[in-house]
Chain A
Amino acid sequence: MMMLLRRSAPGHGYFWFVLFGSLLGVAPTQAQNTAPPGATVKLGIVSFLTGPAAAPFGIPGRNGAEIMIEAMNAGKVPAPFDKVGFGGSTIESKYIDETGSTANVVTEFRNLVQRDQVDAVVGYVSSGSCLAVTPVAEELKALTVFYDCGTPRIFEERPRAYVFRVSPHATMDNVAAARYLLAKKSDITSYSGLNQNYAWGQDSWRDFAAAMQVLAPKIVVDKALFPKLFAGEYGTEISTLLTSKSQVLHTSFYDGDLEAFIYQEQARALDKRMTILATTGEAAIWRLRDKMPSGTIIGARGANGPLAPDSELNRWFQKIYSDRYGTPPTYPAYQMAMSLLGLKLAYEKAKTGEAKPITDQVAAAFKGIEFEGPSGSVKLAIGDGHQGISETAYGTYRFNKETNEPEIVDIVRFPAECVNPPAGVNADGWIKGGMKGAKC
């Protein structure tokens, strides 16, 4: 009887309603606090702020955004980027963590666009995040610039209207790696690979192996190892490589995993037996310093960091970044800076009078844009004018004991058209088909 009485009490529905309403009400409402439209441009910056990808990518990316936006707002970026903010409007930024499931990433993207009413979103390290955000950005007509993710699939699956990527995709990293390797060590007979067992590692290895197959079909693959992402312990892999006869090891490992692998292989002198080719090695040199084996072939996902061409803009960027954060900028910081500069130019190109340009105008101005940034010149030449290509460079690592600083020597530059597929051609098919149309 008691049970019955209790369960039949009225007001149940009212309770649910109140709970539902109050829970949704907790969502923050900063969107309302913005200055009148036109005075500011609001950017959402998304990057890994927690988790294992924070230290290597997320934080340098965020720092790059922070310092770039400050400089832009102060009008201190060297010409032709010297207008205050975006075309005179101050930039306001909101930082969001990329960690979490894809559902979280998409929800937070929607929140930025619809709740916080940002004018554009710049960010995303993980290719999975980029692929998931792309259709939502298109659906919401929200201007989105990806800064670090590498998968070529984004613009290959279908043309996009509101999504841009100034940073070149990952294809050129491995094509250029193969070209550099063959230019410097034409006498090798076999090579092995050590890549993380997830999309980034698998794609990197597939591109590299396919490029090698085209450029030097006689050189064979010995071991292709795929340890788990963030595994941390590579003893077994090192033993396997020690028993291998190959002269080169291709790896797309990055920071945490790369460092762990380098410490562990140094303890067992693997680098005395084979040359390591680290496609993203640049991000780790300032931390590994003399622990990075001399002779390692280093890439930086483009002409970034020490591989960037010398220019006033580059020196300026290196200086303000090093002064603030105590360490030179690594490639994610460059990619973020390039993405923001591209967006700034597009915005200023679209802005005609005093009024704030609408998203469609900025997107139209962004398409096919070409400019010189800290990492040299970039052109949004492929992916229907939404995907950047630029020259890239590889070099060989040395730790200079006299200056006590890392340095990269023997740098070879590869023109954009040499290592990127032509417009309208699928990256995967381009490599396998013999890299037709490459202008080297």
Chain B
Amino acid sequence: MLNAFAVLIDGLVYAAYLFIVAIGLTLIFGVMKILNVAHGSFFTFGAYGAASAVGIYFNRGLPEAGGYLLMVVLAMALGLVLGLILERGIMRWVYGRDEVVMALVTYAAFLILEDVVILIWGPGSYAAYQPLLSAGNIEIGELILSNYDLGLIAVAAMLAAACYWGLKFTRYGRLLTAVIFDRETAAAFGINVRVVYTVTFVIGAMLGALGGAIMAPKIAVTLGIGVEVIVLAFAVVAIGGMGSIEGAFAGALIVGICRAATVHLFPQVELFVIYAVMALVLMIRPYGLFVRAQPRKI
């Protein structure tokens, strides 16, 4: 009983983390058909930005809420700048090329940005634990849960709701849906696809940076944190269906719960449970859970 509850809570916390890092990736893929490896860099910059913000703000006796806000704002501002630079400076020159070429361009950007991090912040690691520890914890039975983790679940749920609402009920969301569905027809109907691309890429970058900012207090912000995130986000997005928000939501939940159950029950297989789930889902549903097979063009 306790185990089931623990699995559920741990699964949800992990799913929240996965969803937050995967949503920007799936958005960019859905609209632009770019498998964005530089998503890891957005995460990294967000985390470093948040760590810097914590360094500036905390331990000065200022109200804590301001610190949370500064973390998020600084990280998202970094995401905005980075997204704009990448999209306007590099990506737009390769639109229309092979998907793998575009993915490789983002890989090149990722390599370069990894070293830009060293140039800006140096090779040492940063701590940003204050928000995590000051949030406190609650005891439920034998388990002690961190309020920050519970907050993470809430943030992920809100983010999911906001994305759903944004796509379904706002003008820009509908434009996006049109582009996702059929780029050429959308352009023929007068949608400025270029602007849509820029905005989407920047939003994706900001979401990636947000993921980094939210995770920063829980980890040591150090070199190489982006690499882990990329492949995790890929897995989640592939399970749910590339480019589908609902898919990312479902994918994160499935992976989160499966991983938590594995750690509690069979810790030996934790290392590849995510990939096993991914392979299994792709075997049964080759296009992921939430994407219908494309019609074949003759």
Chain A residues, Cβ within 8 Å of B17:
233
Residues of chain B whose beta carbon lies under 8 Å from any beta carbon of chain A: 2-3, 6, 9-11, 13-14, 17, 114-115, 118, 123-125, 127, 129, 132-133, 135-137, 142-146, 148-149, 215, 217-220, 222-225, 228, 259-260, 263-264, 267-268, 270-271
**Considering residues B114, B133, B270, which has the most beta carbons from chain A within 10 angstroms of its beta carbon?**
B270
Q: How far is the CB of A288 from the nearest CB of chain B, in Å? A: 8
State the 3 A-B residue pairs at the shortest beta-carbon distance, nearest first: A259-B220, A52-B224, A267-B146
Closest to B5 in A: A239
Whether B133 contacts A263 by the Cβ 8 Å rule is yes
Question: Mind listing 12 A-B residue pairs with CB under 8 Å?
Answer: A50-B114, A52-B225, A54-B123, A59-B123, A235-B13, A235-B14, A236-B263, A243-B6, A256-B125, A256-B219, A259-B125, A267-B136
Whether A243 contacts B143 by the Cβ 8 Å rule is yes
Whether A264 contacts B223 by the Cβ 8 Å rule is no
**Considering residues A223, A231, A264, which has the most beta carbons from chain B within 10 angstroms of its beta carbon?**
A264
Whether A260 contacts B220 by the Cβ 8 Å rule is yes
**A437 CB within 8 Å of chain B:** no
CA distance A422 to B52 in the complex (A): 50
**A242 CB within 8 Å of chain B:** yes
Q: How far is the CB of B107 from the nearest CB of chain A, in Å? A: 16
Chain B residues, Cβ within 8 Å of A236:
10-11, 13-14, 259-260, 263-264
Q: How far is the CB of A95 from the nearest CB of chain B, in Å? A: 12
CA distance A235 to B218 in the complex (A): 10
Q: How far is the CB of A223 from the nearest CB of chain B, in Å? A: 7
CA distance A235 to B15 in the complex (A): 11
Chain B residues, Cβ within 8 Å of A269:
137, 144
Which of the residues B11, B218, B225, B260 comes within 8 Å of A264, measured between beta carbons?
B218
Whether A232 contacts B132 by the Cβ 8 Å rule is no
DSSP class of B's interface residues: helix, strand, loop or mixed?
helix
CA distance A438 to B118 in the complex (A): 46
With A236-B259, A256-B219 given, name 7 new contacts (CB 8 A). A50-B115, A235-B10, A255-B125, A255-B220, A260-B218, A263-B220, A266-B133
Chain B residues, Cβ within 8 Å of A260:
218-220
Closest to A269 in B: B144
Whether A240 contacts B6 by the Cβ 8 Å rule is yes
Whether A227 contacts B270 by the Cβ 8 Å rule is yes
Near B by CB (< 8 A), chain A positions 236-256 give 236-237, 239-240, 242-243, 255-256
**A287 CB within 8 Å of chain B:** yes
Which of the residues B6, B125, B218, B225 comes within 8 Å of A239, measured between beta carbons?
B6
Chain A residues, Cβ within 8 Å of B223:
50-52, 54-55
**A315 CB within 8 Å of chain B:** no
Q: Interface size (A, Cβ < 8 Å)?
A: 42
Chain B residues, Cβ within 8 Å of A94:
none
CA distance A240 to B260 in the complex (A): 9
Mark interface residues in A207-249 (1 if CB within 8 Å of B CB, else 0). Answer: 0000000000000000111111011110111011011000000
Residues of chain A whose beta carbon lies under 8 Å from any beta carbon of chain B: 49-52, 54-56, 58-59, 197, 223-228, 230-233, 235-237, 239-240, 242-243, 255-257, 259-260, 263-264, 266-270, 287-288, 291
Chain B residues, Cβ within 8 Å of A257:
220
Chain B residues, Cβ within 8 Å of A225:
263, 267
CA distance A55 to B144 in the complex (A): 31
Would A51 and B224 be within 8 Å (CB), given that A243-B3, A260-B218, A269-B144 are in contact? Answer: yes
Chain B residues, Cβ within 8 Å of A256:
125, 219-220, 222
Q: How far is the CB of A320 from the nearest CB of chain B, in Å? A: 19
Whether B228 contacts A50 by the Cβ 8 Å rule is no
Would A243 and B263 be within 8 Å (CB), given that A55-B125, A256-B125, A259-B220 are in contact? Answer: no
CA distance A52 to B114 in the complex (A): 11
Q: How far is the CB of A143 from the nearest CB of chain B, in Å? A: 28
Chain A residues, Cβ within 8 Å of B267:
223-226, 240
CA distance A73 to B259 in the complex (A): 54
Chain A residues, Cβ within 8 Å of B268:
226
Q: How far is the CB of B282 from the nearest CB of chain A, in Å? A: 21
Q: How far is the CB of A282 from the nearest CB of chain B, in Å? A: 16
CA distance A58 to B125 in the complex (A): 12
Closest to A50 in B: B223
**Considering residues A51, A56, A232, which has the most beta carbons from chain B within 10 angstroms of its beta carbon?**
A232
Would A267 and B137 be within 8 Å (CB), given that A237-B263, A239-B10, A243-B6 are in contact? Answer: yes
Q: How far is the CB of A285 from the nearest CB of chain B, in Å? A: 13
Chain A residues, Cβ within 8 Å of B144:
242, 268-270
Whether A267 contacts B135 by the Cβ 8 Å rule is yes
Q: How far is the CB of B200 from the nearest CB of chain A, in Å? A: 27
CA distance A257 to B219 in the complex (A): 8
Chain A residues, Cβ within 8 Å of B219:
232-233, 256, 259-260, 263
Chain B residues, Cβ within 8 Å of A228:
270-271
Whether A240 contacts B14 by the Cβ 8 Å rule is no
Closest to A284 in B: B220
Whether B10 contacts A55 by the Cβ 8 Å rule is no
Would A268 and B10 be within 8 Å (CB), given that A55-B223, A263-B129 are in contact? Answer: no
Chain A residues, Cβ within 8 Å of B143:
239, 242-243
Q: How far is the CB of A164 from the nearest CB of chain B, in Å? A: 28
Closest to A99 in B: B224
Closest to B17 in A: A233
Closest to A257 in B: B220
**Considering residues A49, A240, A255, which has the most beta carbons from chain B within 10 angstroms of its beta carbon?**
A240
Chain B residues, Cβ within 8 Å of A59:
123-124
CA distance A227 to B270 in the complex (A): 7
Chain B residues, Cβ within 8 Å of A224:
267
Would A55 and B142 be within 8 Å (CB), given that A243-B2, A256-B219 are in contact? Answer: no
Which of the residues A237, A263, A287 comes within 8 Å of B132, measured between beta carbons?
A263
Whether A263 contacts B271 by the Cβ 8 Å rule is no
Whether B228 contacts A231 by the Cβ 8 Å rule is yes
Q: How far is the CB of B110 from the nearest CB of chain A, in Å? A: 13
CA distance A242 to B259 in the complex (A): 17
Whether B125 contacts A232 by the Cβ 8 Å rule is no
Whether B225 contacts A50 by the Cβ 8 Å rule is no
Closest to A287 in B: B127
Closest to A232 in B: B219
Q: How far is the CB of B227 from the nearest CB of chain A, in Å? A: 8
